[in-house]
């Protein structure tokens, strides 16, 4: 992945922006990859600004932190539109947990890219039911580069693309770690969902 705007064959061309999306399941290394790219941009002496949703305070109120405890300073924002005001003059904008923003995130990223900013967004592509999550599908459609990373299925050891919720909650958004989610492959995810369905039906019959 290139980290600097490329030259225009000797011509004086405007700075070019683009959108990169890093997506996958829980525990797949999305944030780790985001931090790696942002650190490389910093080494290249580019002006970097990093944002995350204000509701995500699992590891740190301000820092973006990976499951491996790597971290980078960020600015928590309640809504995506605030990034347009705060990212002025930035060469690179990083956004973590993109799925927690509303659909306006797509327009914000497009506006940033159109004014010459490299935008890197990390987030879950599917929710705990295996359905497209928030603005991520639309963002993947307009992005120049999409990287799908994978975890390891905790049940069988195969490549995992799904986030299986083990916690007893049906809320769309449930912040949690290994106590709330497991990375699973498609067959193990489907088996788990079937087991949940049978268990819920049994509970309903008892009541």
> Would you please indicate which residues are annotated as catalytic (active-site) residues?
97
Closest CA to 110 of 99, 121, 126: 121
CA separation (Å) from 178 to 62, 89, 193? 22, 38, 17
Q: What is the DSSP string of 12-77?
A: --PPP-EEEEEEESTTSSHHHHHHHHHHHHHHTT--EEEEEETT--SS-SSSEE-TTS-EE--EEE
Q: Are strands 64-65 and 71-72 parallel, antiparallel or unpaired?
A: antiparallel
């Amino acid at each position: 992945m290139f980290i600097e705007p490329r030259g225009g064959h000797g011509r004086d061309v405007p700075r070019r922006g683009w959108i990169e999306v890093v997506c996958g399941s829980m525990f797949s290394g999305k944030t780790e990859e985001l931090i790696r790219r942002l650190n490389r941009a910093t080494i290249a002496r580019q002006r970097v600004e990093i944002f995350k949703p204000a509701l995500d305070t699992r590891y740190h109120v301000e820092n973006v932190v990976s499951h491996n405890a790597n971290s980078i300073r960020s600015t928590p924002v309640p809504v995506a539109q605030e990034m347009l005001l705060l990212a002025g003059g930035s060469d690179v904008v990083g956004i973590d947990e993109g799925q927690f923003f509303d659909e306006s995130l797509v327009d914000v990223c497009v506006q940033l890219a159109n004014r010459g900013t490299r935008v890197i967004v990390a987030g879950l592509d599917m929710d705990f039911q295996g359905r497209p999550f928030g603005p991520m599908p639309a963002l993947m459609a307009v992005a120049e580069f999409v990287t799908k990373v994978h975890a390891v299925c905790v049940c069988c050891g195969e490549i995992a693309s799904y986030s299986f919720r083990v916690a007893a909650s049906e809320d769309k958004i449930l912040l949690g770690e290994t106590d709330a989610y497991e990375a699973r492959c498609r067959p193990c995810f489907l088996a788990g969902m079937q087991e949940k369905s049978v268990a819920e039906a049994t509970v309903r019959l008892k009541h």
